[in-house]
Structure 1
Amino acid sequence: MVPIGGTAPDFTLSGVEGREPEMYELVRFVEDVAGAVLAFVPSAHAPVCRDELRALGESGWAERDDVLVWALTGDSVFANARAYEDLALDYPVLSDFHAGVADAYGVRLDDWHGHRDIPGRALFVVDSDWTVRHARSFADPFEVPDESPFGGAAAVLAELGVAVDAPEVEYRAEQ
């Protein structure tokens, strides 16, 4: 995993914010915000991941001009369009289907329930100088933490001058 204090890799991925796929280039945004929040998940449709992405969407972080919020999934761009709609997200959902970006960030899963080379569950905060300021990953993508997984990210954003509350996550039973 890219360590705290390390340099965040740049990337370009296909993603959606609505229905139409677009290309998202980190280099075009990271230097214009205090912090970029990158939430990696194997699938936006997996229960724990879905609940965290929904909570991040409800947090209001993506509505701010000083924060960039992107989710990176192992799903196709079309599955991400469905997740964007179903979860009522307000930030782009990018497809790292073959996990090249997850590999660069050191959070690629070799095999997860028969899916190969997809992102694991991880959360990064990158500052405008490309420095990783927060890095957290979960060995088990279905692990439910005792506290909000966004607490550390919110604390780092505060250090960067962005006062946000850590969203609480309501983990729901499989539907």
Structure 2
Amino acid sequence: MISEGDTVTDFSLPGTAGEEINEYELSEYTDSGAVILVLYPFDFSPVCTTELCEFRDANWLSFTENVDVFGISHDACYAHKRFIQEYDLPFPLLSDTRGRLTDRLGLSYDEWEHHEGVPKRALVTIDDTNTVRYTWVTESAYESPSLDELHETVKVIVN
């Protein structure tokens, strides 16, 4: 499983910010700052919806330059489009439909609610050198992270 201090090799996933479907490459964003990956099991599930809306409402993220947030699940970009539009999410959602990235990071459940290989609920913050600076992972998909620790890490990275 990925942990603080590890290096994340570049990856590319299809995603959407709500309109068009594009390819998102990690290095495009870490070249100019930090990236927060928000891994979650499914669009529209109650806990996932609450968690992503908490990111939407986190004012400190809106005012932090050079920090990009990306949600990642197995859902297709078409579901992501609808999810973004319904909840007015201001960040892209990426599709890891085959689980290649979440498997590589060691962040997949063997099985959750009769679905195999869905992403664990996790946060991974990567700095401009592709080094992991913060991780939060739970075995319980019903548990949500506190954004306070994440906020403290981001303040250190951007200062």
Tell me if both proteins adopt one fold, taking TM over 0.5 as the criterion.
yes
Equivalent pairs, count: 158
One-letter amino acid of the counterpart of residue 154, structure 2:
L
Q: Which residue of 2 aligns with 1:50?
A: 49
1:156 partnered with 2:148: no
Q: Which residue of 2 aligns with 1:114?
A: 114
CA distance in 1, matches of 2:44, 2:11: 23
Secondary structure of the structure 2 residue equivalent to 1:155: helix
Alignment of 1:16-165 (within 5 A): 16-33=16-33, 35-60=34-59, 61=61, 64-144=64-144, 149-161=146-158
Give the alignment's TM-score, normalised by structure 1.
Answer: 0.84
Deviation of residue 9 (structure 1)? 3.1
Counting aligned pairs with the same residue, the percent is 27
Secondary structure of the structure 2 residue equivalent to 1:160: helix
* Contact 2:13–2:24 under 8 Å retained in 1: yes
Which moves more between the two structures, 121-130 or 43-52?
43-52
Deviation of residue 44 (structure 1)? 2.3
Give the alignment's TM-score, normalised by structure 2.
Answer: 0.92
1:109-141 deviation line (CA, Å, top 9, x unaligned):
222212222211100111101110000111011
- The runs of at least 4 aligned residues of structure 1 exceeding 3 Å deviation read 62-65
1:44-65 deviation line (CA, Å, top 9, x unaligned):
2111111110110122425643
Mind listing any 5+ residue stretches in structure 2 that lack a counterpart?
none
CA distance in 2, matches of 1:96, 1:41: 11
